[in-house]
A and B are shown apart, each in its own frame.
Chain A
Amino acid sequence: MNKFVKLLTVSLGLTASAAYADYPERPINMVIPYGAGGATDISARTIAEPLGNAVGRPLVMANVTGAGGATGSVAVQNAKADGYTMLFARVGSHSVNPAMKATLPYTLDDFRFVTVYEINPAACAVAPDSGINSMDDLVAKVAEGGVTYSSSGVGSFLHIAAVMVLDSFGVENPLEQATHIPQKGGGAAATAVLNGTATFLCTNSSSIASFVANGQLKPLMVTTAEPVVGFDAPTANELGKPELNQLVGWTGIAGPAGLPDDVAAKWGDWMAEATKDAAFLEKMTSRGSVIELMDPESANEFIRGQYNKFRSLVDRLGMRIEG
């Protein structure tokens, strides 16, 4: 019992004297708001190793899934802003969801972004036997009616991507002219196009790369300015739609809004070190990701820019979910 009391006092003393100069003095909880094996999870677990070396403390990875990333995001939003609970933020949870859902329990202001480290080009694809060979074919088919697109759920990146692409290719009212068939998860969304349930989907190039390589899906375009390896399709710029360059997936790290400046600065340094790791770079790029490290300021700017773009599209088309 005596020992217990001693331990108690010692540890209380430590907590009281803790200053951010010593940060981190214990393992850091990293919340992944999506399930194991998904794009965010793989990305997070790949950076965990070099990042853990840079931090010098273990990173404890915790998948908290549900509600399109909202459950995990709220867990971090409500955590103490001491830098010991951080979030792997993703395009779906932190730019599409806030733009589309009025009842989302958080906004961008509830988080402080310390970095964005990964950009995923997006691609649109159809089944090879659909008779659609180009974006023009697709748009023509939309005018005929009966075109559907799949997504991993309402408010997902795939959802807004399809709408944004149709919108920028001049489809008058994408919500009326094409039908959205939401699926549960990105894998199911790709399967829906494979088996003919939906006509097309727009998603991260990495998640359909194997289907494209196998000839099970035919890519129509990629949203980046540069061509994507393995995707025999024109870029958005070649099609004269450079505004679609903003339609990319990303992964970043965020803390609760009150995260102290020196903690954020430390994360900036750690990320700079971690993303230099050769093994990390090799793994990520072989999966089709572009490693682009942003410091806290430019990450914030990037995310807000994408959010505003999505938000104006959502408001113009009346896509906002009020309930």
Chain B
Amino acid sequence: MSFYDSILAGISLVGNVDAFLSLFIGIVVGVIGGAIPGLSATMAVALTLPFTFPMQPINGILLLLGVYKGGIFGGSIPAILIKTPGTPASSATILDGYPLAEKGQAGKALGMALWASCTADVVSNLSLILFAGWLASFALNFGPPEFFALIFFSLTIIAGVSGDSLLRGTLSAVAGLILATVGLDLVYGTNRFTFGDSNLMGGLNFIAVLIGLFAIPEVIAMAWDPTGHLGKARSLGKSWVTFREYKDSFFSIIRGSIIGVILGSIPGIGAAPSAFLSYSEARRTSKNKENFGKGEIEGVAAAEAGNNGVAGATLIPLLALGVPGDVITAIIIGAFMIHGLQPGPMMFVLNVDIIYGLFIGLIVSSVMLFAVGSVAIRAFRYVADVPKRILMPAVLVLCIYGVFAVNNNMFDVGVMFAMGWLGYLMVRTRIPAAPFLIAFILGPLLEDNFRQSMLMSGGDVSVFVRGPITWAFWTFSIIALFAIYKSIRNAKTA
């Protein structure tokens, strides 16, 4: 079948109202699901999965992809408005989005988030269509040693999100690494800091930690000073993102999209680290460096580009190899299998109509996301107008429901409260929370891949420099460490 035939076959498959309707409903559900803290894009996709069982395969998969993409964008809405990431991937959006909302520029931040998300989405989809085969074979070269080098490099992001003190940022990161060791040991299955509790054996739930760390301290700060917010503008504001601001951030958005595509095509990384990496790269090179973390619109753009750039790219290993890149695609793969489809190289031969149908659907999805997102922003503007002393109790209640729903476990609600107090203590001692979160995500990956490498090499450390991918990441790490060292020197002499 020629290329044109394939495209025609694809069009005939999705060229009906049902397909686009599923995609549209998916995006709406995703944006709403993503906007509810704790529900998260992952949960929204998992909850939609059973509904796809009776549908046509292509419609069902488009529905799930819509939820996925909508969810990743939707997460940025509460991240900006109430400092609660709706989905882990939007944690980096808080860093500048929430300060902007505090300044009464929530509308601008949300607008930029939408522009950046949709741009990154287009880049990501195009990469999927053009480079799927090539990127997939690259991704399959990632064994534990390559992962170890990549994650080591990713940990240098911490320097970029540490704020005014690298040492306190490090402290925060180590705290995150320590809390991430709770649970069963990977290699021997023994208990680490579990105290015989089956809830702790599973490790601390990531979403509970995330929401506890970012949302609850706001509630506690309200108790410390219930009237401090009065007089500060907190409505959505008339300000809307201008084309000029978009143009100024365009380079960061494209770079973030590419970071997202690369990290997304490697199984096992996910959208949150990508958003943080994109953010710290933007901060490192921006001419508005000083303003990052205090409400810099470019920071929002970079973070949102970083996480939406992942969304299309995670489909690369899924479609080309049948390997799920993260939890969400693991659920989506379930939808393929229920319909008797087997993602993998053979799918490009056997079900090429579905593949091209998906591609066409994906391109349309970027446009739909923009439309749905614009409406959603206007609908959620009312949140910004709610009096803060009613909003905060509502946030608290919302977090309780959301965190419980993640794993149907009351223990997680307790974890959230405990992390909230830790987070508040960190706010008071001016220890930044972002490094904690990055370390909490990457720490277990670093340890596990280190030990898996040692197992596969029989204890020979030379496995860590076994190929060009590892060399590349070690080089990047050295460059990053050198840049950090230089910035410390500059700060001292300045």
Contacts and interface: CB of A to CB of B under 8 A. Distances in A.
Direct touch of chains A and B (CB < 8 A) = yes
Chain B interface residue number, banded: 35 or more
A68 B344 CA distance: 27
B186 A182 contact: yes
Nearest to A213: B342
Contacts of B190: 321-323
Given A154-B188, A155-B189, A287-B337, A195 B140 contact: yes
A70 B331 CA distance: 21
A194 interface: yes
Given A66-B203, A197-B144, A214-B346, A191 B323 contact: yes
Contacts of B197: 105
Nearest to A196: B143
A71 B331 CA distance: 21
Contact of A45 (B50, B322, B408, B409): B50
Count chain A CB atoms within 10 A of each CB in B333, B345, B456 and give the residue with the most. B456
A135 to B, nearest CB: 22
A35 to B, nearest CB: 7
A35 B186 CA distance: 18
Contacts of B201: 66-67, 70-71
Interface in A96-115: 100-101, 103, 105
Interface string A183-210: 1110110111011111000000000011
Interface in B31-51: 42, 46, 49-50
Contacts of B188: 154, 321, 323
Interface stretch (A57-65, A267-275, A299-307): A57-65
A75 B458 contact: no
Contact of B342 (A74, A197, A209): A209
Contacts of B324: 187
B196 A179 contact: no
Given A71-B198, A146-B458, A216-B321, A36 B408 contact: no
A120 to B, nearest CB: 14
Contact of B456 (A179, A188, A190, A216): A179
A71 B186 contact: no
B147 to A, nearest CB: 10
A154 B189 contact: yes
B334 interface: yes
A214 B322 contact: yes
B408 A105 contact: no
B408 A37 contact: no
Count chain A CB atoms within 10 A of each CB in B183, B184, B332, B334 and give the residue with the most. B184
Nearest to A105: B198
B165 interface: no
Given A63-B407, A75-B409, A37 B49 contact: yes
B142 interface: yes
A65 B407 contact: yes
B49 A36 contact: yes
Nearest to A214: B344
Contacts of B338: 42, 283, 287
Contacts of B205: 66
B141 interface: yes
A66 B407 contact: yes
A181 interface: yes
Contacts of B407: 63-66, 71
A181 B322 CA distance: 21
A55 interface: no
B181 interface: no
B452 interface: yes
Contacts of A74: 198-199
A148 interface: yes
B202 interface: yes
Contacts of B49: 36-37, 45
Interface in A154-179: 154-155, 179
Contact of A36 (B46, B196, B455): B46
Nearest to B184: A67
Given A71-B199, A71-B202, A216 B322 contact: yes
Nearest to A31: B408
Given A66-B202, A214-B322, A187 B330 contact: yes
A36 B47 CA distance: 9
Contacts of B343: 210
Nearest to B186: A182
A180 interface: yes
Given A70-B198, A71-B201, A197-B452, A64 B267 contact: no
Interface in B375-419: 407-409
Contacts of B237: none
A23 interface: no
B333 A105 contact: no
B334 A213 contact: no
Contacts of A242: none
B130 interface: no
Interface string A17-54: 00000000000000100011110011001001000000
Interface of B: 42, 46, 49-50, 140-144, 183-191, 196-199, 201-203, 205, 267-268, 321-324, 327, 330-334, 337-338, 340, 342-347, 407-409, 448, 452, 455-456, 458
25 contacts: A38-B334, A42-B334, A62-B408, A66-B203, A70-B202, A71-B201, A101-B189, A153-B184, A179-B458, A180-B455, A181-B455, A182-B186, A182-B187, A188-B267, A191-B267, A191-B323, A195-B143, A210-B322, A210-B344, A213-B342, A214-B347, A216-B321, A216-B322, A216-B345, A322-B190
